[in-house]
Structures are given as C-alpha cells and as structure tokens.
C-alpha cells in the first residue's frame, strides 16, 4: 500500500473506465474519489456560478479553462476528508494543471504517490461512449453491452432513471478524444519521466482491469 497520505491519479482517455474503477477502489483504499467531471456535473445540476461557467465548454467537448478547474479541485482537496489522500480521476488534464497539483499537494505537505495510466484503443472508446448510461440520482455508470443494468433504463442501486450524457453523443465524443490527444496525453510522458507512472491495459473486462489496478497500487 502507498504511504499515508496517498494521493493517486487515474489517468486515461474519456471512456477508459477511470471513473468506474475509481468508484470501486475507494472502498479498498479508504480515501475519497475526486472526479473533476463529477464536480462540474454537480455544479451544473445545482446551477452554481461555476457550473454555468463550465457548461458550454463541457457540452462542446472542450476543456474547462485551467484556472476554473484548478480552483475547484483545490477547494475539494482542502476538505477534511482528503487529509488521508485522494484518488484523482479526470484531473489533471493539462501540464499546467499537473504543475498546479504539485503546488496544491506541497501546500498540504504531501506529494503524489503514483499515477496509473489506463490505456484503451480509440475505436473501443467510441464504441463504449455510445453505450454508456448514467443514473440521474446516484451517477452510477453502466454500459449497455459490457455492464448492463438488470432492468432496462433503471439503476440497479436506487431505481433511478438512466440517461446518456450529452457529451457522450458521437460528435462530442470525437472532440473529447481529440482534446485528450492534444492536451492530456502529454501527461503520460510527464509522469513517466518522473518515474511514478504505472501503465495498465484497460481493454479488458472491468473486473480484470480493477484487479490489475489494485495490484499496482498495492505495490506502490
């Protein structure tokens, strides 16, 4: 197990399964999942100023500007439940954000324990996006082919209605993947050169990927 506090990043393209894996791992790790995408969606749902500012970027498949994103994640990491660490999912997504994260962690007297990069071929990602459905109530994610709910359109956990995210529709998915290639994929080299990158094949059944990630984390 990584030393305490353990700040870990799950890095990977949209639809690589980072969010699903993170939500399974937090129980084992005893640290919260900090997902920038979830934080934005929560702000949009609650119609906060930050949510209104972020919405147009998200609907287009673009990144929300760094300053807005960094401020939001910094606030989250300063909450008490992150004192023992956090599993970051969807952040950082640019080199600028990665450098800002170093500063935020330094202020907390901490540093990154490891970065797990989940790799999935692009055609698989596009296919996954078209089948992804999310619960309106709890945010649980399903896939119509690989991880379907027991009842069509209904969340197994709380009976909430399942919906397709606006930004999972085909045109926006292609934009999100292009943005990932241009702005986020350089982080792989950034963290590899620091010797803290662990690479995982994400093109396997959810449970197998989860086991691989858990094994990597156990060895940190």
Does residue 33 belong to the site contacting ligand AMP (CB under 6 A)? no
- Rounded CA-CA distance 182/185 in Å is 7
CA angle 207, 139, 95 (to 5 degrees): 80
Among positions 16, 21, 33, 69, the unique one binding ligand AMP when judged by CB under 6 A = 69
Q: Note if 79 is an active site residue.
A: no
Does residue 135 belong to the site contacting ligand AMP (CB under 6 A)? no
- Rounded CA-CA distance 130/186 in Å is 26
| CA-to-CA separations, 83 to 3, 109, 110, 168, in angstroms, rounded | 13, 10, 10, 33
3-class SS at 140?
Answer: coil
- Rounded CA-CA distance 43/9 in Å is 22
CA angle 186, 57, 99 (to 5 degrees): 35
Task: Report, in Å, the least distance between residue 218 CB and ligand AMP.
Answer: 25
Task: Report, in Å, the least distance between residue 37 CB and ligand AMP.
Answer: 2
Give how many residues touch ligand AMP by CB under 6 A: 18
Q: Note if 132 is an active site residue.
A: yes
Task: Report, in Å, the least distance between residue 3 CB and ligand AMP.
Answer: 25
Q: What is the dihedral of CA 200, 201, 204, 208, to 10 degrees?
A: -20
Show contacts with ligand AMP in window 169-198 (CB under 6 A).
Answer: 176
Does residue 58 belong to the site contacting ligand AMP (CB under 6 A)? yes
Task: Report, in Å, the least distance between residue 67 CB and ligand AMP.
Answer: 10
Among positions 63, 125, 134, 135, the unique one binding ligand AMP when judged by CB under 6 A = 63
Q: Note if 176 is an active site residue.
A: yes
What residue ranges bind ligand AMP (CB under 6 A)?
Answer: 14, 36-37, 40, 57-58, 61-64, 69, 90-93, 97, 167, 176
């Amino acid at each position: 197990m990584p030393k305490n506090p353990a700040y870990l990043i799950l890095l990977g393209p949209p639809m690589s399964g980072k969010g699903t894996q993170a939500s399974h791992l937090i129980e084992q790790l005893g640290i919260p999942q900090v997902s920038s995408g979830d934080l934005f969606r929560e702000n949009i749902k609650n119609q906060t100023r930050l949510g209104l500012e972020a919405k147009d970027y998200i609907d287009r498949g673009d990144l929300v500007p760094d300053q807005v994103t960094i401020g939001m994640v910094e606030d989250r990491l300063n909450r008490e439940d992150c004192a023992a660490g956090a599993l970051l999912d969807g952040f950082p997504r640019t080199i600028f954000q990665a450098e800002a994260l170093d500063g935020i962690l330094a202020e907390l007297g901490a540093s990154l324990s490891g970065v797990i990069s989940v790799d999935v071929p692009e055609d698989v990602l596009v296919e996954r996006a078209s089948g992804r459905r999310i619960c309106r109530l709890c945010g649980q994610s399903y896939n119509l082919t690989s991880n379907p709910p027991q009842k069509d359109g209904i969340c197994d956990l709380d009976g909430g209605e399942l919906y397709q995210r606006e930004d999972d529709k085909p045109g926006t998915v292609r934009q999100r993947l292009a943005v990932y290639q241009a702005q986020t994929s350089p982080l792989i080299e950034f963290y590899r050169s620091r010797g803290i990158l662990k690479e995982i094949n994400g093109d396997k059944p959810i449970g197998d990927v989860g086991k691989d990630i858990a094994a990597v984390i156990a060895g940190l």
